[in-house]
């Protein structure tokens, strides 16, 4: 039996990513893929995503973050990987921060 490798992915997405439905896009993708965590806009114009789940699934989410929804122009994606904490029960859109 293959062991599932749970991981945590923290991503800052830069570019024209606010006002184009990016957070809703991320939420839809996360729910579809079955991962948990949150997404929020940041004051500097970027979008921050923190998700946990099976690493291979998180890599699929990371791939779509490079593209974003129609209307977005992603110019930078900065992923950081770490161990999953198990703190999330679902996926949410958080208030703007940072």
pLDDT (tens, 9 = 90+) of the chain, 98 residues, equals 556 789 999 999 999 999 999 999 999 999 999 999 999 999 999 999 999 999 999 999 999 999 999 999 999 999 999 999 999 999 999 999 87
Which pLDDT belongs to residue 33?
98
The domains of the chain, with CATH numbers, are 6-81 (3.30.70.100)
Which pLDDT belongs to residue 2?
57
Catalytic site positions:
23, 41
Tell me the Cα Rg of the chain: 13
Which pLDDT belongs to residue 4?
73
E strands present in 1-98: 6-16, 36-41, 47-54, 73-83, 91-93
The answer to whether 7 touches 52, Cβ cutoff 8 Å, is: yes
């Amino acid at each position: 039996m293959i062991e599932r490798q749970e991981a945590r992915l923290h991503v800052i997405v830069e570019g024209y990513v606010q006002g184009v439905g990016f957070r809703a896009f991320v939420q839809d993708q996360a729910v579809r893929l079955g991962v948990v965590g949150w997404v929020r806009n940041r004051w500097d114009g970027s979008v921050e995503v923190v998700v946990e789940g099976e690493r291979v699934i998180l890599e699929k989410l990371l791939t779509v973050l490079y593209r974003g929804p129609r209307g977005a122009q992603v110019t930078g994606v900065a992923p950081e990987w770490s161990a999953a904490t198990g703190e999330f029960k679902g996926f949410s859109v958080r208030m703007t921060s940072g």
